Structure 1
Amino acid sequence: MNKKISILQIARFISQTIFLFLLPGLFVLSFSQIGTLYSNIIKGNFNFIALFPAISTTLVTLITTILLGRFFCGWMCSFGFMNDVIYMLSSKIFKTKFKISEKTDKFLKTLKYILLIFIVLFIWTTANKSLDNFSPWNAFAQIPNFKTAIFQYSLGFLILGIIIAGAAFVERFFCRYLCPLGAIFTLTSKFRLFKINKPNDKCGKCRLCTNNCAMGIDLYKYPKVKSGECIDCLKCLDVCPRKNTNLNIAGENINPTLASSIAIATFAGVYAMSNVVSSALPNRNSNTTLSLTSGTTATPSVKYRDGTYTGTGTGFNPNLNVSVTIKNGKISNIELLSNDETPRFFDRASSTVPNEIIKAQATNVDTVSGATRSSNGIMEAVQNALDKASASSTTNTATNYNNKTNSETQNSTTEAPSAQDNTSSNTASLASYKDGTYTGTGTGFNPNLNVSVTIKSGKISNIELLSNDETPRFFDRASSTVPDEIIKAQATNVDAVSGATRSSNGIMEAVQNALDKAK
């Protein structure tokens, strides 16, 4: 006999669907903002007012979890919803039955804490960006742009595939064993106001609540659910034949539909309020994820000609256009003119990146988690405009897209190198190299972009592209131009090819890697 789906679970499904379409990357944003908060604290840069826009979402999720429990995980998280749907389809279509023992389940649940510790120590503490492409969350957020994102998040999609396979056999597989945000919420939700009471004097040998628990909690053992693993899916209330399980607040039983409505309304209200406050604050900070690749700096010391300049960049798609206003030699305003980006990703980037560029007076700011490509496109377009603003300056220290001729390079050898020249890892000009042939490796859309660089008479004479894992139509554009430009300029900080920025930067990085060996 088929079990009847309760109104409560239908309401939960509707809530999850709404959040999937309106805020699909909310879980990614919340976790990355915890990283932002942590990084600012350990660096001694914590300023709540200035930092608020960059941590507002995680404050909302943390506060509601502390007060109300993990309703976010059970009712709002898109990644958790994906796990629910996969398990439901698998159990209905393939009739999968896979039982994990309590002992094994408890052991596997420690994995998410180990993963959290690893992220804190080796990614957040060291500001290491090299593992961002491994993130299944980032890959999941880019599913609408799969054809392009697969090249950037290939390993992330591979891990996502493993999670999907696990979710087909174990309900909430990722949430139980691998979710680092869940590890944090497990700890904070212990203080929640909403609790589930189930006096087990009437239970006997019944195990229905335990057997239906999405998180595998051994509910039959306890008269009150205190586990931080509980995601408030409230299935235990639905299946109890004696109605012995109740949602409780301050010692009083409360209607579960009312409780879930309060939780969702509280979250939505606090979230909306945080956005209003964030938009009213003058300074905005960005979220921690992938930084813009090499060769994209506009230092605060650069002086630009006053005026308004337009620039073009490439996010997920080309033709991302901006207008940059310069006053008193500095960036005073950035206006986003037009783009062909996916709105929900571009909106995240556009609400943060321009303000960060103005604040830093530089284009090498942090990108927004889940909107990396749009963020990079905005930075590239702004830098393109800045290049026009600094074109006639007598001293141009902006190192991005700096196209030097051989004569300019030769003339510059009489000048003392600036402090920035000494610190930049992207500039090959003014250097003297040992003759020979050297190999180098870089990362474009994918790692393992290999080149061979030949040095004669102390200068770059030839660049051979050995191997790569790039998309041919993008790489061909970059490979037909960038090596010749590097040889011409005798420097690696040349223009990236529009529409093939990542491959261009990968070639420059690989050549610079080879040149470092030739010094």
Structure 2
Amino acid sequence: MSPIGNIISRLQNSEKVERVRLSLQLIGLAIFIYFGSQSTFYVVLLSIPIALLFGPVYCGWMCPRGMFQNIIGSMGKRVLGKRYNTLVPKRFHGSLLYFRYVVLLFLVTALLLHEFQFINDSIMESVVVDGLLLIMAVSILLSFFVDRAACRYFCKEGAAASLTNLVKIRMIRRDHSICNSCGICDRMCPMWIDVSKKDVVRDAACISCMKCVQKCPVNALKVE
């Protein structure tokens, strides 16, 4: 097995995996606090070489927003019980996934307009920057009702990083000869991907968190 294969194998089966994830998210939070809100976008850009191999790993492993969503979501699960994650009907979920691309397009358009001086600094700061921060803050709070609401429907960085799912080299593959269709992988996926119905997970929504791989009771899911 290759060195990368060894790392993946240990990561998939290690009980310390969530501690690793939390440590990386805390590093992401420290970068965010020290360098400011713009830093997240640049860290996503710097992670592209790894993302081309494994997909948007920043989203699943390092994003501090993910950490806050997990904390708020755990409170929501305790309070709401079975009502948690039912705010958005699944029939609307697929369409709503595209909204984060609308947010990304809005930002790129605003940056271009600002660069060519069609909008001034005041408008850029009050409408664009403050507006995007408000959207992100509200979406993180929505994770009390919906698992990873910010990641699913609002995150512009996640929208940009998700494009690497289309070209990544190593993918999550399901061995249907082993799979017992228990559905645990579907329930563990924070992005609501029906992993148990796929041979290869190619969805743009995937954040490469590997939770489906971690929790599969029969090891039918592998990163290859």
Q: TM-score range by the shorter chain?
A: 0.7 to 0.9
Return the structure number with greater relative CO, CA threshold 8 A, min gap 6: 2
> How far does the alpha carbon of each residue in 1:52-103 deviate from its partner, in whole angstroms, 9 at most, with x for none?
xxxxx55412232223311111111112222222112221355352234443
Contact persistence 1:199–1:224 (CA under 8 A): no
| TM-score of the aligned structures, taking structure 1 as reference length | 0.36
Change beyond 3 A, Cα 1:134–1:7: farther
How big is the shift at 1:168? 0.7
Q: How far apart, CA to CA, are the structure 1 residues paired with 2:71 and 2:168?
A: 27
The one-letter amino acid of 1:16's match is Q
How big is the shift at 1:189? 3.1
Structure 1 portions without partners, runs of 5+: 34-56, 139-152, 249-519
How big is the shift at 1:193? 2.6
In the alignment, structure 1 residue 105 sits paired with structure 2 residue 93: yes
Indicate the residue corresponding to 2:11 in structure 1. Answer: none
Q: How far apart, CA to CA, are the structure 1 residues paired with 2:201 and 2:37?
A: 25
1:75 to 61, 64, 81: 61
In the alignment, structure 1 residue 21 sits paired with structure 2 residue 30: yes
Q: How far apart, CA to CA, are the structure 2 residues paired with 1:112 and 1:156?
A: 11
Indicate the residue corresponding to 1:10 in structure 2. Answer: 19
How big is the shift at 1:157? 6.2
Structure whose residues are more often strand by fraction:
1
1:177 to 153, 157, 161: 153
Change beyond 3 A, Cα 1:196–1:114: same
Change beyond 3 A, Cα 1:205–1:68: closer
1:125 to 112, 123, 129: 112
How big is the shift at 1:174? 0.8
Change beyond 3 A, Cα 1:26–1:12: farther
2:211 to 215, 229, 235: 235
Contact persistence 1:113–1:183 (CA under 8 A): yes
Q: How far apart, CA to CA, are the structure 2 residues paired with 1:169 and 1:181?
A: 22
Contact persistence 2:140–2:148 (CA under 8 A): no
Q: How far apart, CA to CA, are the structure 2 residues paired with 1:120 and 1:247?
A: 33
> How far does the alpha carbon of each residue in 1:93-120 deviate from its partner, in whole angstroms, 9 at most, with x for none?
5535223444311110011112222222
In the alignment, structure 1 residue 116 sits paired with structure 2 residue 92: no
Contact persistence 1:66–1:190 (CA under 8 A): no
Contact persistence 1:27–1:78 (CA under 8 A): no
How big is the shift at 1:240? 1.1
Q: How far apart, CA to CA, are the structure 1 residues paired with 2:36 and 2:45?
A: 12
Q: How far apart, CA to CA, are the structure 2 residues paired with 1:104 and 1:189?
A: 22
The one-letter amino acid of 2:217's match is P
Q: How far apart, CA to CA, are the structure 2 residues paired with 1:172 and 1:224?
A: 22
Q: SS of 2:218's equivalent?
A: coil
Superposed counterparts of 1:302-451, under 5 Å: none
- Of all paired residues, the percent bearing the same amino acid is 25
How big is the shift at 1:164? 3.1
Superposed counterparts of 1:125-204, under 5 Å: 125-127=112-114, 128=119, 129=121, 130-133=123-126, 158-204=134-180
Change beyond 3 A, Cα 1:26–1:212: farther
In the alignment, structure 1 residue 216 sits paired with structure 2 residue 192: yes
Indicate the residue corresponding to 2:73 in structure 1. Answer: 87
How big is the shift at 1:212? 0.9
Q: How far apart, CA to CA, are the structure 2 residues paired with 1:87 and 1:225?
A: 24
How big is the shift at 1:134? 5.0
Change beyond 3 A, Cα 1:27–1:207: farther
Q: How far apart, CA to CA, are the structure 1 residues paired with 2:62 and 2:18?
A: 13
Q: How far apart, CA to CA, are the structure 2 residues paired with 1:13 and 1:235?
A: 14
The one-letter amino acid of 1:212's match is M
Contact persistence 1:198–1:223 (CA under 8 A): yes
The one-letter amino acid of 1:226's match is R
Q: SS of 1:223's equivalent?
A: coil
The one-letter amino acid of 2:185's match is C
Change beyond 3 A, Cα 1:26–1:79: farther
Q: How far apart, CA to CA, are the structure 1 residues paired with 2:32 and 2:50?
A: 17
Q: How far apart, CA to CA, are the structure 2 residues paired with 1:181 and 1:156?
A: 12
Further displaced range: 198-207 or 213-222 = 198-207
Q: SS of 1:224's equivalent?
A: coil
